[in-house]
Structure 1
Amino acid sequence: MNQVIETILAHRSVRQFTEEALTTEQIELIVRSAQAASTSSFIQPYTIIGVTDYEVKRKLAEIAGNQSYVANNGYLFVFCADFYRHEVIGEMEEAELSSTLESTEKFMVALIDTALAAQNAAIAAESLGLGICYIGGLRNHLEEVCQLLETPQRVIPLFALVVGYPVKLNEQKPRLPLHHVFKENKYEANQEKIRNDLHEYNDIIHQYYHERTAGKRGDTWTNQMAKTLGNKVRMYMNDFVKGKGFNKQ
C-alpha cells in the first residue's frame, strides 16, 4: 500500500480546527490539485471561491445550520458549478451555446466535474496533514449564498470544503462492506440478499455507535436513512437550478 492510498483510506471528517490559517502555498497546492482532476471534454465547468472574510464565513455558517466550523477553520473553499465563462465563450466565438448549456447532460457534467475537483482538493489537503469536512448545508438557502458571494447567472454554489489543522481526529465511521457496493458484470437486484446485507451493516453501525457513545446511542443505518430520506429538505432546488440557467431541457 502506498502513501496516496493510505491517505485516502484514513479519511474522516473533521469538525474542530485550531486557529492556524493555511499558507498561500498550501491554498495554491490544493487548488492546483483540484484542477488536475479529470474533466469531461476539457470543459472545466467550475469555479472555486476562497472565503477569508470572517463576516462572510460567519453568515455561511449560519446558513449551513449554525455549524461553527464553517466560520472557524484554516480556510474555506466554496465549489461552484460554473457555465458563466462558457456563456462568455459563446459571445467571443459568436456561437449559440444556450441550448447546450441548459441541457440536463451539461448540468450533470458540471456537477460531476466539480465533485471530482473537490475530491482531489480534499485528498491533497489531507496529504498535507490537514483535516477537511464537506459542507452541503450551503444549499439550505442558495439565494443568500449567491448574494454573499456575488455569483452571476449560470453559477451555482454546490458545497463548501472547510480545511484546517484538526484539534482531534474522530474514529472513522464504518462504510458499507465492499461486497455491498461492488458487483461484477451486472447489478444484483435480489431484494432478499439486499435485506440480509443491510441487516449485517446495521449490526456494524449499531456496535460503532454503542462503543463511541458508551451505550447512549444504538442507531442502525437503515433507520438513519429512513429518517433522512423521509425528511423533505431543499425542495426549492428544481426551480432554483432552472432559474440559474441549468437543467432546463
Structure 2
Amino acid sequence: MSNDLPNNAEQQLDQNYWDAKYQTKATGWDLGLVSPPIKAYIDTLQDKNIAILIPGCGNTYEASYLLEQGFTNITVIDIAPTLVKIIEEKFITNTHIQVLLGDYFQHQGRYDLIIEQTFFCALPPSMRQKYVWKTHDLLAENGILAGLLFNRIFNLGPPFGGSQKEYEPLFYSAFHFLNMDVAYNSIAPRANSELFIELQKNKNVTVVLYALNGIKTAAVAQEISSEIAKMPAVLNTSINIDFTEIVIVSETVLDLKELQKTIATDGAYTITTIAL
C-alpha cells in the first residue's frame, strides 16, 4: 500500500470520519455499480493508455470498469484506511492499477484524466477553491476533468450540493468548458440532480491558491476580489465561503507584494501563497 497521508489534525479528523463510515458500512451514497453517465463517458475514450486518477475513490466501480475495458494506467486514492485495504486486496494481482492511501491535496502526479464521482461533494464547501487549484495542477497539459457534480442543495452534508450557476464561476478561466449540463442518463433517484462535466485544463494560465487573513465579512471579501480582478493579467478570482482562501487565475505569475498592496496597504488584511 502506498501511503500519502496528511499530518495536520483537521485532515486527520476527516480521515477518521470517513474511515468510520466504511468500518460501519454506513455508505448510503454507494451506488453499487459504475454511475451510468461515467460509464457512457468511459465508453467514448479511445486511448487505453492514458493516465487516469480517481480521487476519493470509494469502492471504485469506475476503476473496475476501466480495467474491464482494457485501460492500463489507473490510480485511485482515498483517505480511509479500511476502504483502501479492501480495494488494495481486490486489485492485488492487477498491475494496471495503483491504490493509494492519502490526501488528494498532497498527492503529486500528472494525469490525462481525473474522474470526478462524489469526491467534490464530499469536501466541505470551503475547500472548493482548493479543489480547482489542485486539480488544475495534477492534470497534464490538455488534461480533462470529467464526471458528475450534484445539481441540487442538501440540507445536511456531506454530500454538499450546489448548482451550475455556482460551479461555472468557480472553474472559469482555469478550464475550458467542453460540457456542463444536466446528465440525461442518471439513475432514477438522481434524475435531474446531477450535472455531467467535461472540463479541459487551460494550459495557458497560472492558477494559484492564496491564504487570506483578517477578512470577516462577505462585503469585504467581495471588495477584495473585485480589486484583484482589476489587476493586469488577472482572469478570474474566487474566495472561499469562510474568506480564508482565494484562487486566482492569471495570464502570468502575480507579484505577491503587488497583491498585498491591492488588498490592504495597512496590513489589515494579508495574503500569502499556499505551496503545492
TM over 0.5: no
Which structure is higher in strand share?
2
Say which structure is richer in helix. Answer: 1
TM-score (norm 1): 0.27
| TM-score, L = length of structure 2 | 0.25
Higher Rg: 1
Larger RCO: Structure 1 or Structure 2 (Cα < 8 Å, ≥ 6 residues apart)? 1
